[in-house]
Amino acid sequence: MKIYNTLTKKKEEFVPIEDGKVRMYVCGPTVYNYIHIGNARPMIVFDTVRRYFEHKGYEVNYVSNFTDVDDKIIKKAIEEGTDTDTISKRYIAECKKDMAGMNIKPATKHPLATEEIQGMIDMISTLIEKGYAYNSNGTVYFRTRKFEGYGKLSKKNIDELEAGKRIAVEEQKEDPMDFVLWKPKKDGEPFWESPWSEGRPGWHIECSVMSKKYLGDSIDIHAGGEDLIFPHHENEIAQSEAANGVQFAKYWMHNAFLNIDNKKMSKSAGNFFTVRDISEKVDLMVLRFFMLSAHYRNPVNFSEELVDAAKNGLDRITTAVDTLTHMLKKDGRDEKLTDDEAKLLEEYKAITTRFDEAMDDDFNTADAITAIFDMVKFANSNADENSSVAFLDALKNQIIEYMDILGIKVEKEEEILDADIEKLIEERQNARKEKNFARADEIRDLLAEKGIVLLDTREGVRWKRN
Ligand code: AMP
Ligand code: ZN
């Protein structure tokens, strides 16, 4: 399996630090608003990377943070006349809803910056002890020039970076390239006690600390959008490697931007759509499919036409699966494969292998999707009245399995009919009368799974579809 590593600028064979395990960290969003579909790109891309590793049999420990203390959150809290906690909690909850809609698996751990302050103080103290950081009137800076490898990820030269950089009057740095690890509070800002000042951490330190705490000093993959390469990831490397004395991440993966009119979609530029906006227009599975239709290292230009094209493409796949499901319901089919079918399945297998080959080549989801379309074409032209159950099952399951690796659900949920609901409710009432509460609960849960909510009213049980 090959991964393009930003650190070496090459595709490299993936060799995990520990056999059979992948430890990966993905920088998450700052939570002061609904996430936009640009933020959704790394979420979808790296969730797909995780799913592919799992498909290959790896156990994946996947950590992704929420930055819940930051200038933008503070500004939003002031605008709304509330506190930062209320803002960040609200948008973490909203972000998790969007993630569920896009079928993004919850991380093994979603650490919050505000819950990891002690760890950050500890790492900053270590950096000071080792001479990599210094306290200047309550602000702690990282001594960038002391870290020899600075610039190795972004391929920037520290002297070139420094040219034209000035130290602002209020900053008391030794060198313009030094960056903040801890800063004193300003009036009305949230703060924590520390050996240097009542204040809060700089942004970069949280990822170094969370990654170490939940994954260890050295991890396999560190990922995020390409705007994070510099300075965020460069600074993370400096902090972690200076503090821990070992290589931080073996492979650095970065997704390209989602653009509008060839400009990066961003909140500050105001040219963005939230995931929530899009969910009102199309199913979020379409958004996910759209995102994966391009290779993650290529920029994607967002437009309604391209989303429509993605919708049509995905419809072709879901319709094929639906047709196979209907065929399988027809009675009287032979169970077993015929010899001809066995031969056809060999051909089918050759197409399916292309999915794995594409994914093995730096997660080329664009080519993987082409392989799925070819599988669909094959199924459409080879499944018929006389096909056996085994043949239809094989065609259908392979499409579902691969779409599941891409995180896209293609099976239509079976609708539950009103009459069936009424029957189940009656059965639940009887179970309750007989004090069989276990069965009553079971029926309630079963209905809940189908999106049916029960309301116990004086007039009896009423129900609605959620
Ligand atoms: P932020 O909340 O700005 O820190 O962004 C969270 C994640 O979204 C980071 O990995 C960013 O690199 C990524 N990101 C932000 N905007 C875009 C965009 N337009 N296209 C792709 N990724 C983006
Ligand atoms: Zn980060």
Mutate to test the pocket of ligand 1, among 31, 65, 221, 227 (most ligand atoms within 8 A of CB): 227
What is the SS3 assignment for 82? coil
Does the structure show a pLDDT above 90 at 71? yes
CA pair distance 217, 249, nearest whole angstrom: 9
Q: Is residue 264 in contact with ligand 1, taking CB distance under 6 Å?
A: yes
Cβ partners under 8 Å of residue 211, min gap 6: 25, 63, 219, 222, 236, 240, 248, 249
pLDDT score at 202: 96
* pLDDT tens track for 14-32: 999 999 999 999 999 999 9
- DSSP strand pairing (263-264 vs 249-255): unpaired
Distance from Cα 395 to the centre of ligand 2, integer Å: 41
Does the structure show a pLDDT above 80 at 98? yes
Nearest to 45 by CA among 276, 279, 314, 363: 363
Nearest to 162 by CA among 177, 151, 143, 172: 177
Residue nearest to atom 8 of ligand 1 (CA): 39
pTM of the model: 0.90
Backbone angles phi, psi at 142, to 5 degrees: -90, 130
Residue nearest to atom 20 of ligand 1 (CA): 257
Does the structure show a pLDDT above 80 at 415? no
pLDDT band at 62 (very low <50, low <70, confident <90, very high): very high
* pLDDT tens track for 243-280: 999 999 999 999 999 999 888 998 888 899 999 999 99
pLDDT band at 88 (very low <50, low <70, confident <90, very high): very high
Q: Is residue 199 in contact with ligand 1, taking CB distance under 6 Å?
A: no
CA pair distance 290, 299, nearest whole angstrom: 13
Looking at 56-182, list the stretches that DSSP marks H as alpha helix, in order from N- to C-terminal side: 71-80, 84-101, 117-129, 158-162
Residue nearest to atom 12 of ligand 1 (CA): 225
Q: Is residue 201 in contact with ligand 1, taking CB distance under 6 Å?
A: no
Residue nearest to atom 4 of ligand 1 (CA): 29
Structure tokens at 296: 């993650």
Ligand 1 atom nearest to 36, measured from its CA:
16
pLDDT score at 161: 85
* pLDDT tens track for 306-328: 999 999 999 999 999 999 999 99
Residue list, CB under 5 A from ion ligand 2: 27, 207
CA pair distance 67, 171, nearest whole angstrom: 24
Distance from Cα 230 to the centre of ligand 1, integer Å: 13
Structure tokens at 312: 């049509």
What is the SS3 assignment for 455? strand
What secondary structure letter does DSSP report for 233? Answer: I
Looking at 282-334, list the stretches that DSSP marks H as alpha helix, in order from N- to C-terminal side: 284-292, 304-329
Mutate to test the pocket of ligand 1, among 24, 35, 36, 39 (most ligand atoms within 8 A of CB): 39
Q: Is residue 204 in contact with ligand 1, taking CB distance under 6 Å?
A: no
Q: Is residue 224 in contact with ligand 1, taking CB distance under 6 Å?
A: yes
Which ligand is closest in space to the CA of residue 210?
Answer: 2
Q: Is residue 33 in contact with ligand 1, taking CB distance under 6 Å?
A: no
Which ligand is closest in space to the CA of residue 42?
Answer: 1
CA pair distance 447, 421, nearest whole angstrom: 8
